[in-house]
């Protein structure tokens, strides 16, 4: 595991990128530039926050009850679900959403150009069933870009599912809509519907929502009149879009979505490859998922 001293010596960038360590030993990259601020935990290569300089509220939501402890999953931010999404396809005893989000990633590189900070991470799987590695590069500025590259080091084909499980900060779940998924087929995990459904209009939220939109390479937009902004989500290398709001009852059961109905100020829109879009990588093949977030202010209504 890279020490705090090592990563600061190797990768710090004057006052724009420094690494800190919390009381639990979690090492966090602290990014502060004229364009944006962000925090990224080395455990899970997990982005905890991102706020462009021209916004007065964060673009990414983090639970007040998030466990910022090495090896623990973190509620909020951008969990990296890899090398499987959801329950393990064969072994239900394994943790949901894979081991990447609770593993210690290695910092590989950092840089700055036009006041946009680049920070790269790598994870070598130690699971013999998954002879593969992941590289994740962040570009942090007025936009946020993530590039997740998987490499199959094995001699057999490898089945991978993945998601950038992003929790976006919103005004209120009942007041937003998700645009761009019209006529897209989806699996409804709440109703366990035996066949796919088809999205008719913009996605609106009035109850627990847990859907995997398939064969959906297209961009989508979180339209948030309450915060007078749209969050635009553009992606390549991702054919699934997962949309999740726990709503009241599940939020109560989960118990770590923040006090005062914190779940109302978040929505997950996840750029993924899952379900029908699970990947099969040939030996030595790589696959790249790229996603870009941009917040656009809306003119006064
Ligand atoms: O992506 C939606 C989902 O799969 C939901 O079903 C819910 O389980 C959510 O992820 C959170 O999962 P986690 O393992 O982080 O509690």
Interval 1-60: pLDDT, tens: 899 999 999 999 999 999 999 999 999 999 999 999 999 999 999 999 999 999 999 999
Q: For ligand 1, atom 8, which residue shows the shortest CA distance?
A: 86
H or E element at residue 5: helix 4-11
Q: Which of 88, 151, 165, 287 is catalytic?
A: 165
CA nearest to 148, candidates 51, 279, 53, 6: 279
Count of C-beta atoms within a 10 Å radius of residue 266: 24
**Do residues 178 and 288 make contact, with C-beta atoms less than 8 angstroms apart?**
no
pLDDT value at position 301?
43
Asked whether 270 lines ligand 1 (CB < 6 A), one says: yes
pLDDT value at position 27?
98
Asked whether 242 lines ligand 1 (CB < 6 A), one says: yes
What pLDDT, in 10s, does the model give residues 121-145? 999 999 999 999 999 999 999 999 9
Mean pLDDT on 219-225: 98
Asked whether 244 lines ligand 1 (CB < 6 A), one says: yes
Distance 22 CA to ligand 1 centre (A): 26
Residue 229 φ/ψ, nearest 5 degrees: -155, 155
Mean pLDDT on 169-191: 98
pLDDT value at position 258?
81
Q: For ligand 1, atom 2, which residue shows the shortest CA distance?
A: 244
Task: Classify burial at 104, counting beta carbons within 10 Å of its beta carbon; exposed 0-12, middle 13-18, buried 19 or more.
Answer: middle
- pTM for this one? 0.97
CA 221/CA 178 separation, integer angstroms: 6
CA nearest to 167, candidates 293, 31, 17: 293
């Amino acid at each position: 595991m890279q020490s705090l001293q090592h990563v600061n010596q190797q990768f710090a960038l004057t006052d724009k990128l420094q690494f800190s360590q919390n009381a639990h030993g979690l090492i966090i990259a602290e990014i502060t530039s004229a364009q944006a601020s962000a925090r990224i935990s080395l455990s899970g290569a997990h982005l905890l926050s991102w706020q462009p300089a021209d916004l007065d509220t964060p673009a990414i939501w983090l639970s007040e009850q998030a466990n910022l402890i090495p090896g623990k999953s973190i509620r909020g931010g951008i969990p990296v679900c890899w090398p499987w999404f959801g329950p393990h396809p064969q072994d239900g005893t394994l943790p949901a959403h894979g081991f990447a989000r609770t593993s210690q990633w290695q910092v590989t590189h950092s840089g700055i150009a036009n006041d946009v900070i680049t920070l790269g991470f790598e994870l070598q799987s130690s699971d013999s069933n998954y002879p593969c590695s992941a590289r994740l590069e962040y570009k942090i500025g007025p936009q946020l870009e993530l590039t997740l590259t998987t490499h199959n080091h094995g001699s057999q084909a490898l089945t991978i599912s993945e998601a950038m499980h992003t929790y976006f900060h919103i005004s209120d779940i009942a007041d937003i809509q998700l645009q761009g998924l019209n006529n897209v087929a989806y699996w409804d995990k709440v109703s366990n519907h035996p066949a796919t459904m088809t999205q008719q209009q913009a996605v609106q939220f009035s109850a627990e929502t847990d859907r995997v939109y398939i064969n959906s390479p297209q961009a989508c937009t979180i339209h948030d009149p309450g915060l007078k902004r749209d969050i635009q989500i553009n992606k390549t290398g991702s054919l699934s879009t997962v949309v999740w709001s726990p709503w009241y009852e599940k939020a109560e059961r989960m118990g770590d979505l923040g006090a005062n109905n914190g779940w109302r100020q978040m929505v997950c829109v996840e750029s993924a490859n899952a379900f029908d879009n699970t990947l099969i990588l040939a030996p030595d093949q790589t696959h790249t998922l790229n996603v870009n977030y941009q917040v656009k202010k809306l003119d006064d209504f």
